[in-house]
Amino acid sequence: MNDDIEVKVKEIQRLYAEDLSSPFPYQDCRRMQDSFEADEDFAAQLNLYFSTVAGFCSWGKRILHWNETKRKEAADLLAKSFFEDLPQYQKLEKHINKIETPELYNEIERHETMRRTLLDIISRLEKSGNKQEIEEIAA
């Protein structure tokens, strides 16, 4: 299990580094507003959601030191995808694709992978009873 956690932590670190070098997809968000009547808060809400997910990823290996309260807080905030959390935008999801909105599509996919991986790490930490092994990974 420890190797799995270590691999997953490295994965979120890699995804987070990619995210830092990738600009926010404003042009595709504008396309969603123009073509599919997304409200003007769509880009701001998406940016906030991306920032929340990336913020947890920025912890890197330090995630392994989170106490139960911090893990629960993170799990609660990460429990839903963007479209689950903000159902008013669900109508837009079917219009986001690799052809028409490639930057937006890629960013949503990256953040969704980050979110699911973080939740998996948190779940594994909750189940792990061997704190010494976790500390070895965190070192």
Tell me which residue range forms the domain holding 125.
Answer: 2-138
Q: Which of the four pLDDT bands, split at 50, 70 and 90, describes residue 139?
A: low
Residue given tokens 């769509």 in the structure block: 42
- CB distance 52 to 77 below 8 Å: yes
Tally of CA atoms within 13 A in the half-sphere of 54 that contains its CB: 20
pTM over 0.85: yes
Q: How many domains does the chain have?
A: 1
- CB distance 113 to 81 below 8 Å: no
Ramachandran area for residue 97 (φ above 0: left; ψ -120 to 50: alpha; else beta): beta
Per-residue pLDDT at 132? 54
Rounded mean pLDDT of 6-28? Answer: 95
pLDDT digits (tens, 9 = 90+) for 45-84: 999 999 999 999 999 999 999 999 999 999 999 999 999 9
